[in-house]
Every structure is written in C-alpha cells, then in structure tokens.
Amino acid sequence: MRGVWTAIITPFDQHGNLELSTFKALLKNQKEAKATGVITCGTTGEAATLSETEKKTLIQIALEELEGSQTKVMAGTGTNNTAETLELSKWAFQQGVHGLLLVTPYYNKPTQTGLEKHFLNIADKVNCEIMLYNVPGRTAVSLTAETIIKLAGHPNITSLKEASGNLAFLSEIKNQLILANKKLDLLSGDDALFLPSLAVGTTGVVSVASNLFPRRMTAIQKAFEAGNHQKAKELHQFYYPLFRDLFIETNPAPIKFALSYAGWCKNILRLPLVTISLTSQKKLIQSLKMCKIKSNARAAL
C-alpha cells in the first residue's frame, strides 16, 4: 500500500441522511486527482454512526464511481466485535474492494493476545489485503511493535496505518521489521507527520487533508521520492496550518467545516459529533485563506 489514501468523509443532508450526490462529487474529485485510493467508512467517514446498510451503500457507490480508474477503494470494516468485523469484511471483499482497514477494537480493551487473535481471525478467513489501524487516542489500546511484527508474518496483512502521532514508535516498528526480515508497508495516519514519516520509511499517508487537496498531498510524496526534499518541505510548510487546524477539534468536524467553506458539502455531522465552535471556525477560515483555499470554489487542488 503506497501513496495518498483519502479518508473520505460521509456527507449528510439537512435531515441527517446520506447525501449520495455529494459523495459522488467527492469521489469524482479524488478520481480526477488520481489519488491512490479512498477509504470509506473510517473515522473521518463517521463510521461509528453509520448503519450496516449505510456502510454497504457507501462502499458499493465508491466501487461503482471509481471503477476503471487508478483510484482504489478500501473499506473500513473494523469494529470491536470480531464476528461482525468478519461478516462485513467478507461482504466487502466479495464486492471487489482493494483492501480492508481494520481498526484495533475499541472500548473492550483487549490484550495483545486478543488483538493478535482478532486480526488473524479476519486475515485467515478473508483473502484480501488488510491495513491494520493503530489509533490509541480513540481506542484506549495500542498495538505493540512486537505484536505488529507477529502480524506482519501473515500474507494478507500488508500494511499499517500508524496514528499514534509518535515518530519514535514508527521508527521502532521499522527497525524491528528490518531485524525480523519482514515486510509491512507503514503509512502515516497524521497529515502533519506525513513528510517527517516519509523520512523514517513510510510508504504513504491516510489523509484527512486530501479531502480538500489530493493533488497537493500527492505532490509532497512525489517530490520527496524524487529527491526534491526542498520542494517537499515547502509544500509541507505551506499546508501545515491546515494540517494542524483540521484537528482543532474532534475529526471529522473540522474537515467537514472546511469542505463546506470550500463548497463541497454541507456542514452536518451526526450526534454525538457537532460542528466546530465559532472560535474554531474563525481560526480554521484564517488557515484556509493562508493555504489559498477559496470560499465556495470547489477548486481542484
């Protein structure tokens, strides 16, 4: 798994229902930008408040809209219930997704043994590429480097979205993979650490910001891999105010506000999430203007 994977939002209408016409427009933008892929039904897609039927609808539409393009579809099928995760993962694989994003089970706080068994249960029964998703700030549990190395031995477990925000931990994983002679693609789960993480061996990013500017995010990686580190650094610094402020409050509230400002979607979330405060809105608008994001422009960036 390489490149820029957009953690795509789920747009809602004024009644709180899926707004599929907007979802299709967002997918078209990703396709035209030649983003590596989109991830549906993840954290940024408000998976926690989507029904199973809604998740399936979003996955199917993404597959239909991106069919024949170079932009792949990954489905967020992870839950804190192994049996439910397995059933949704089987279904998504049958529909033709490129991969599965499996978050570490949340709330029930499994041990490392429990985490290992959870992921292997899916990997053994679904012959599809799996991206592990480590995000301890949301799940109250973190995969250890040792557990990650064990899981990397499975042929279907091919990548890890590392969203702890800890570059030292990312370096530790990379070091242990080298020592164990195992391969696992590591992707940053934090836009602000995208460029720094490339320097320690990641192969891409699962990005929130690329909902707004997928071409620019791809340009950062292309510049870095071409050895043009100065250009990569300049792009990173230019967009850093947004990398920072898209997490000014709980994701995805800031990116939904930003996309609404830019004319892409309505600023509507499902409870218990709410729109960002007026103070945060003012700060985010300032950063959007600094990064040349125009109001209601639907710019292809």
Evaluate if pTM is beyond 0.85.
yes
Of 193, 187, 179, nearest to 158 by C-alpha is 187
| b/e 152-182 (16+ beta carbons within 10 angstroms → b) | beeebbbbbbbbbbbbebbbbbbebbeeeee
pLDDT (tens digit per residue) in 201-242: 999 999 999 999 999 999 999 999 999 999 999 999 999 999
- Helices and strands per DSSP (H, E), number in the chain: 12, 8
Per DSSP, 105 falls in state P
The parts of the chain modelled with pLDDT lower than 70 are none
Could you list the active site residues?
Answer: 133, 161
Supply the pLDDT for residue 20. 99
Q: What is the chain's alpha carbon radius of gyration, rounded to the nearest angstrom?
A: 18
Domain boundaries, the chain: 3-213
- To the question of domain 3-213 being in CATH 3.20.20.70, the answer is yes
Half-sphere exposure in the Cβ direction for 7 (13 Å, CA): 26
Helix axes 229-245 and 214-225, enclosed angle (nearest 10): 150
Q: What is the C-alpha separation between 206 and 3, in angstroms, rounded?
A: 9
pLDDT at 297: 83
